[in-house]
Amino acid sequence: MTWLVAGLGNPGSHYAGNRHNLGYRAVDELADRAGERFRKARFIPADVAEIRHAGERVFLAKAHSYMNESGPAIASLARKHRVDPEQLIVIHDEIDLAFLALRVKFGGSTAGHNGVRSVASAMRTPDFFRVRLGVGRPAGRKDAADWVLEDFPKRDAAAVAELVNVGADAGLSIISDGLDATQERFNRAGPR
What would the pLDDT profile of 86-134 be if each residue is shown by its tens digit?
999 999 999 999 999 999 999 999 988 999 999 999 999 999 999 999 9
Superfamily of domain 2-186: Peptidyl-tRNA hydrolase (3.40.50.1470)
pLDDT at residue 142, as a whole number: 82
User: Among the options 14, 20, 64, 92, which is catalytic?
Assistant: 20
- Beta-ladder partners of 2: 57
Percent of the chain scoring above 90 in pLDDT: 91
Helices (H), the chain: 22-34, 71-80, 114-123, 144-148, 157-177, 179-186
* Domain map (residue ranges) of the chain: 2-186
pTM: 0.96
User: Which residue ranges of the chain lie beneath pLDDT 70?
Assistant: 192
C-beta neighbour count of 150 within 10 angstroms: 14
Q: What is the 3-state secondary structure (H, E, C) of 126-141?
A: CCCEEEEEECCCCCCC
Is 20 designated active site? Answer: yes
Asked if residue 116 lies in contact with residue 110, where contact means CB atoms within 8 angstroms, the answer is yes
